Amino acid sequence: MRYAALSDVGRVRKNNEDSWHADGRVFVVADGMGGHQAGEVASSVAVERFLGYDLENRHLPPMKRLNEGILAANELLASMATENPGLEGMGTTFTALVLEEGAFLGHVGDSRAYLLRDGRLTSLTRDHSLVAKMVREGFLTPRQARVHPRRNVILRALGMERRLVVDLASPDLRAGDRVLLCTDGLTSGLDDEELEAILAGVEDPEECCRRLVMEANARGGEDNITVVVIDLEEGDVPRGRAAGKGGAKAGEAKGRWWKRR
């Protein structure tokens, strides 16, 4: 396996509120939200809590551990915001891929996971945002959604509510596949066709990360940009126990919505 990760503050923000992790088995991107650096706290705490839960509960099946680890991170953020008024309103997106006895994907928010196979790019996640919901319901086109004034409204994120639904999947990954995890600082600047061209055209994962970040900054760099590129080889995704349903649901979460600051 070859993989690389890169995070950049962009050209507008003063702080980088994104966090990431990549170790060959677990890959995570998280995009924090909230004022007064609370977003930076949210994303870093969520990643740390998730990794700790994963380490402490290796006896659990991977999908169950993935889901419960994300829920544990959500519970910690909610508790921190309740106990510390300075952290009120913080939250984070969270997209995690675990390669262990198969491939397991957990997702909340509008960070994304993509699969490049045979030069074709497909999305492995769907955004939990207002404009994405409007596109799915036919009220907006994808092009309109990219410039919509409410494109920063998030419908589901860690820290919003103690009751959280995590989108779970077990993608069929194969040798030769390339997987991209990214925050919306990348996808707000580049559309899927542009992502596909770069991912298919730049072989080295490190150089691919640099090219993606460079292109996003060239389009304005209005947000923090974090990318993880993973190239799979034979044996990188061992086959094992079935993933199961894991409680994944397709509908939008009810309740509060979130607006990025």
Q: Look up the CATH number of the domain holding residue 85.
A: 3.60.40.10
Q: Is residue 216 included in any domain, yes or no? A: yes
Burial of 257 (0-12, 13-18, 19+ CB in 10 A): middle
> What is the rounded distance in angstroms from the CA atom of residue 215 to the CA atom of residue 177?
22
Any bridge partners for residue 225, and if so which?
Answer: 8
Q: In which residue are the tokens 């919509």 written?
A: 148
Q: Is residue 29 included in any domain, yes or no? A: yes
Residue 15's closest CA among 37, 31, 47, 30? 37
Q: Is residue 260 included in any domain, yes or no? A: no
> What is the rounded distance in angstroms from the CA atom of residue 50 to the CA atom of residue 62?
13
Q: How far is CA 40 from CA 22, 44, 97, in A?
A: 18, 6, 21
Q: Is residue 183 included in any domain, yes or no? A: yes
Q: Is residue 261 included in any domain, yes or no? A: no
Q: Is residue 9 included in any domain, yes or no? A: yes
pLDDT tens for each residue of 206-258? 999 999 999 999 999 999 999 999 999 988 876 643 333 233 322 333 333 44
Domain span including residue 133: 2-237
* Confidence at residue 239, expressed as pLDDT on a 0 to 100 scale: 61
Q: How many domains does the chain have?
A: 1
> What is the rounded distance in angstroms from the CA atom of residue 161 to the CA atom of residue 81?
11
CA-based torsion, 148, 132, 260, 160: positive or negative: positive
- 8-22, 32-46, 168-182, 207-221: least confidently modelled range: 32-46
Q: Is residue 100 included in any domain, yes or no? A: yes
Q: Is residue 186 included in any domain, yes or no? A: yes
